[in-house]
Amino acid sequence: MQQLFNFFIRNKTFVLFLLLLSCALSLTIRSHEYHRSKFIHSSNQITGSIYGAFHGITQYFNLKKENKLLLEENSQLKILVFNRGNLPKTDSLLESTYNLLSSQVYKNSFAVPNNYLTLNKGQNDLIKEEDGVITSKGIVGIIDKTSKNYSRVLSILNTNSRVNVKLKKTNHFGILSWDGKSPEITQLKDVQDLVKIAVGDTVVTSGYSSTFPANIPVGSIKSYRLNDTEDLYIIDIKLFNDMTNLEHVYIVKNTDINELKALNISDE
């Protein structure tokens, strides 16, 4: 026992180093698994408020671009209002199961394989995990961690991200994921090889999950190829969203989520 203690005291630097390194490695491994990074994340009070303080300065840089985006969105909404009479009433966005809440992006990244965003809305605004995040152009990601005033978004530019989407033309669905390379291109997998697809086809959310309503635009097909077993397509999707430059986003809250969850549980 005495010798053991002596050994530790003699090599205390090395022991401390090993301890801290294994600590860091375990945090790293946790962070590579979806929903596991519990302790170290940017949606806590300290990091959130610091990001907030500096965001007050940097938000002025994008004002022109943001103005233009808002104008575009406004005109689209105006068109919708003017043509309201012609719209079919079954549009899922108009049923009041989904609520929208605007929010600002405090932090965004796209240079590493696992990217997250930090938003300035949290539990105080009734934001929950699994809520979807979109912009006027397309989808951004899914809320994955919340604190009182801030929340963290698992970006679609994250190798752990999986979103259920479909081809607008034929309604065939697949899973949107990211290979970690270009921030403009994501991959759509699990589409059968008998489906007819063409470059330029639009991809939208399927609405099968409770996170996103149906028919939110995602991107357009850039190129496609068959996978190794030659029965499923791997499709490169060019995103409508510029993920490298996000400022204002909307959080989509599904008010029926408890009912849906209860249904799913009774199914199992």
Instruction: For residue 226, state whether it binds other proteins (rule: CB under 8 A).
Output: no
Identity of residue 90: T
3-state helix, strand, coil split of the chain in percent (to 5) is 30, 30, 40
Instruction: For residue 141, state whether it binds other proteins (rule: CB under 8 A).
Output: no
Q: Of 95-103, 132-140, 176-184, 195-203, which part binds other proteins (CB under 8 A)?
A: 176-184
CB of 131 to other proteins, least distance (A): 18
Q: How many CA atoms lie within 13 Å of 170's alpha carbon, on the beta-carbon side?
A: 11
Distance CA 178, CA 166 (A): 16
Q: Of 25-33, 191-199, 230-238, 257-265, which part binds other proteins (CB under 8 A)?
A: 25-33
Q: Of 65-73, 169-177, 179-187, 196-204, which part binds other proteins (CB under 8 A)?
A: 179-187
Chain length of the chain: 268
Contact of 142 with 186, CB cutoff 8 Å: no
CB of 116 or CB of 233, closer to other proteins: 116
Instruction: For residue 116, state whether it binds other proteins (rule: CB under 8 A).
Output: yes
CA distances from 208 to 54, 163, 171, 236, 251 (A): 38, 10, 12, 21, 18
Among 28, 76, 227, 264, binds other proteins (CB under 8 A): 28
Of 125, 118, 91, 147, nearest to 249 (Cα)?
Answer: 118
Instruction: For residue 114, state whether it binds other proteins (rule: CB under 8 A).
Output: yes
Positions touching other proteins (CB under 8 A) are: 12-14, 16-17, 20-21, 23-32, 37, 40-42, 44, 46-47, 50-51, 54, 58, 107, 109-114, 116, 118, 152, 180, 182-183, 244
